[in-house]
Amino acid sequence: MEDQTLQLFVQQLVNGIQLGSVYALIAIGYTMVYGVLKFINFAHGDVYMIGAYMGMFVVLGFHPANIDQDALVVVLAMVLMVGLIVSLRGNLRNPRAVGLRLAGFGLAFVLLKTLCSAFVLVGEKLFGGLTSVAQTSVLVGGAVSVMVSVGWCAALGVIIERTAYKPIRGTGRLTALITAIGVSLLLENGGQAVFGARTQAYSIASLPGGQELVGATLNLNVLGLAISVNRGQVIVLVSAIVLVTLLMYIVRRTRMGKAMRAVAYDREAAALMGINTNTVISFTFLIGSAMAGAGGFLNYGLTQFSFDTNTGIMFGLKAFVAAVLGGIGNLGGAVLGGVIMGVAETFIAGSPFSSFKDAIAFVILIAILLFRPAGLLGKYTVEKV
C-alpha cells in the first residue's frame, strides 16, 4: 500500500514537472519583458498559440482551403487602419507627410486582397516544401518545425513590439497594458477568423520513425517504482532545460545579455552609455517570443494535445502567475515558478478536489501577493520618488 502511494506520488511529480516545464518556457517571456520594460505583455500567451499552429503547418501541411482569405483581408485591413491612424498622429500639420501616408496606406488597402492571395499562395508553396522535407524523417521534421515555430514567433514578437508597443512607449504603463490586451484579442479572434475555430491536434509521431521516437510510452523503473511517461514529453522536458540553459548563457555571458541587464537596471543611464535601447528591447521580445514559440510547438507537436486559437489564454495566465510567483523580472524565478505551478496543478488534479485544479493558480497568486509581493526569488526595491 505504501509502495503504491509512493509510486502515485512520483508519477504525479513527473507529470507535474513536464507541465511545469512548458509554463516555465512561457513565463520566461513575461519575466524578460517585465525586467526590461516594466510592462506585462499580455499577448505573450497568444504567441505561444501561434507557435503551435506553425508547427502544425509544417507537419500536416498548409492548405489554402483551411484559411479564410476574406477574414484575413478584413483582419489585415483593420490592422492597416490602426497603423494609418497611429502614423498620422503627430504628422497632421505636415501636408506632405499626410499625403504620402494616405497614398501609401490607400495603395495597401487596394492591394490588400491581392497581397493576401499571394501570401496564401507563397505560404502553400513554402510550407508544402517544408512538409515534404519534414516527411523524410522525424528528426528532420522535428528540427524544421522547431525552426519555423521559433523563427516565426520571434519575428512576430519583434513585429508586435515595433508596431504596437514602440509607438506608445513613454505614454504610461496603462496605455501599454491596454494595447497588449488589444494585441492579444487581435491574435485570438483574428486567428479564429483566419484559421477557423476547429480544435486541432497533430504530432511529429505521424512522420517516418516518429512512433518510436515520441509516440511510444516509456516505462521507467525509478528506485523500484514503475513510472510510465510519454517519450514525447521527456523530449519536451529535455528541450526546455536546453533552451533555458541557452538563455541563461545569452543573458549572463554575451554582450547583448549585458546590454539587456543594463537596460533593465536603468534604461536612461544605459542609453547615455551608448547602448541602443531600441535594439535591446526588440531583442528581448525576440528571445521571449522565440521561447514561447518553442513551447507552443513542443507542448502540442510532440504530444497530440488538442489546441485552438484560445489556447494561449489560460496557458498565458498560468505562466504569468508562474512568473509573478518566482519573482517577475527574474529568469530563474520564472523557471522555478513554472515548475511549482505545474506540480501544484497536477497534484490538485489527482486529489478529490480535481475541479479546483485551475483555481490553484490564482490561490497561489493571491498568497504570493499577500506574503511575498516580490515573488520567491524577487528582490525588494525601494520605489524612487
Partner 1 sequence: MHNRRLHTASWLAGLLGLIVLSGCNSAPQSGGTGGGGTGDTILVGSYLSESGSEADFGKSTHEGIDIAIEVINKAGGINGKNIELRAENTESDPAKAANAVTKLITNDKVVAVIGEVASGLSLAAAPICQSNKVPMVSPSSTNIKVTQQGDYIFRVCFIDPFQAYVVAKFARENLKKTTAAIFVDNASPYSKDFGSEFKKNFEQMGGKIVSEAAYAAADTDFKGQLTKIKTANPDVLLVPGYYKNVGSIGKQARELGITAPLLGGDGWDSQDLFVTAEDALEGSYFSNHMAVDDPAPAVKSFVDAYRAKYGADKTPGALTALGYDAMMIVAEAMKRVKVIDGPSLRDELAKTSGYKGVTGTITMNSDRNADKSAVMLQIKGRKFVYMATVAPN
Residues forming the site for partner 1 (CB under 8 A): 4, 8, 11-12, 15-16, 19, 70, 74, 77-78, 81, 84-85, 88-89, 92-93, 192, 196-201, 217, 228, 230, 299, 304-308, 310-311, 313-314, 345-352, 354-355, 357-358
Of 92 and 382, which has the nearer Cβ to partner 1? 92
- CA–CA distance, 324 with 166 (Å, rounded to integer): 24
Between 89 and 96, CB nearer to partner 1: 89
Closer Cβ to partner 1, 85 or 369, answer by number: 85
- Smallest gap from Cβ 104 to partner 1, in A, equals 14
Q: Hunting for cell 519575428 — which residue is that?
A: 155
Contacts of residue 50, defined as CB under 8 A and 6 or more positions apart, other chains included, come to 152, 153, 156, 187, 191, 293, 296
- The least CB distance from residue 367 to partner 1, in Å, is 21
Least gap, CB of 8 to partner 1 (angstroms): 6
- As a whole number of angstroms, the distance between CA 266 and CA 253 comes to 19
Minimum Å gap between C-beta 75 and partner 1 is 11
Q: Given the complex with partner 1, which of 161 and 345 has the nearer CB atom?
A: 345
CB 333 within 8 A of CB 31: yes
Nearest Cα residue to 87 out of 168, 157, 161: 168
The residue (of 261 and 357) whose beta carbon lies closer to partner 1 is 357
Shortest Cβ distance from residue 381 to partner 1 (Å)? 35
Euclidean distance between CA atoms 45 and 83, whole angstroms: 23
Q: Tell me how far apart the alpha carbons of residues 302 and 298 are, in angstroms, rounded to a whole number.
A: 6
Report, in Å, the least distance between residue 156 CB and partner 1: 22
Q: State in angstroms the smallest separation of the CB of 378 from partner 1.
A: 28
Of 7 and 277, which has the nearer Cβ to partner 1? 7
Q: Under a CB-based contact definition with an 8 Å cutoff, are residues 324 and 340 in contact?
A: no
Phi, psi of 220 (to 5 degrees): -105, 155
Cβ closest to partner 1, residue 11 vs residue 282: 11
Nearer to partner 1, 136 or 306 (CB): 306
Shortest gap between Cβ of 295 and partner 1 (angstroms)? 13
The C-alpha cell 526588440 sits at: 282
Task: Give residue 78's identity as a one-letter amino acid code.
Answer: M
Cell triple for 116: 493576401
Q: Is 375 exposed, middle or buried (0-12, 13-18, 19+ CB in 10 A)?
A: buried
Angle, helices 277-301/255-265, rounded to nearest 10 degrees: 110
Name residues whose C-beta falls within 8 Å of residue 78's C-beta, 6 or more positions apart in sequence. Answer: 186
